[in-house]
């Protein structure tokens, strides 16, 4: 895992120093050549739900809101490894991918809860109900598994970290986000390579 993190960090740095943002024509070429942009976009969409989850937790418990939800996490792991098995994906890889998604989401939740603890006025006034957010997360989880299956070869290739770095930086350029969300996106994507 540390080697993978180091590889992705190196690839991310190389991308910052050595490449420009992909334009629309470049993006079309990237999609045609096995780009991981859609997968990274789904991961970012899933990560965006962390704001709503944190808001719902804040509304129910305020500054004492618990981020960890072992029962829900176990449900996600079980459902996604079953779904991955239907596509012949290794259970340990699918588990690794969703561990990364869940930990990245908790990073955002903890950051937001801490921000709201020190500045309660910034907390959402009308948070969503978790029961409304979870179906969106479940749908994104299924789409992520489908992308893992569709791009298994690219995700197992030696240049996986570089491809991911390109897609992550494309997401940075095309999506709004603060440092908290960007760090969490990197955390969520470093586990995608099946090496």
Average pLDDT of the residues in 18-26? 38
Separation of alpha carbons 44 and 105, rounded Å: 10
Indicate the angle between helix axes 91-118 and 70-86, nearest 10 degrees: 150
pLDDT tens, residue by residue, 63-72: 788 899 999 9
Query: How many Cβ atoms sit within 10 Å of the Cβ of residue 46?
Result: 22
pLDDT tens, residue by residue, 50-59: 999 999 999 9
pLDDT tens, residue by residue, 66-106: 899 999 999 999 999 999 999 999 999 999 999 999 999 99
CATH of span 2-189:
1.20.59.10
Check if the beta carbon of residue 91 is closer than 8 Å to that of residue 84: yes
Q: Where in the chain are the domains?
A: 2-189
Separation of alpha carbons 92 and 79, rounded Å: 13
pTM for this entry: 0.82
């Amino acid at each position: 895992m540390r080697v993978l993190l180091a590889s992705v960090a190196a690839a991310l740095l190389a991308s910052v120093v050595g490449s420009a943002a992909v334009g629309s024509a470049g993006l079309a070429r990237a999609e045609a050549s096995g780009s991981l942009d859609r997968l990274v976009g789904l991961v970012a969409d899933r990560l965006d739900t962390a704001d709503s989850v944190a808001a719902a937790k804040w509304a129910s418990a305020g500054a004492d809101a618990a981020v960890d939800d072992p029962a829900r996490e176990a449900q996600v792991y079980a459902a996604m490894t079953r779904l991955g098995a239907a596509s012949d994906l290794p259970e340990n890889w699918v588990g690794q991918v969703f561990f990364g998604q869940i930990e990245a989401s908790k990073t955002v939740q903890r950051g937001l809860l801490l921000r709201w603890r020190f500045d309660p006025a910034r907390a959402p006034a009308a948070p969503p109900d978790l029961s409304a957010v979870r179906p969106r997360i479940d749908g994104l989880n299924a789409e992520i598994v489908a992308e893992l299956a569709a791009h298994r070869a690219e995700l197992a290739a030696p240049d996986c970290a570089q491809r991911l770095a390109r897609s992550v930086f494309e997401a940075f350029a095309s999506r709004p986000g603060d440092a908290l969300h960007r760090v969490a996106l990197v955390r969520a994507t470093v586990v995608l390579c099946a090496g």
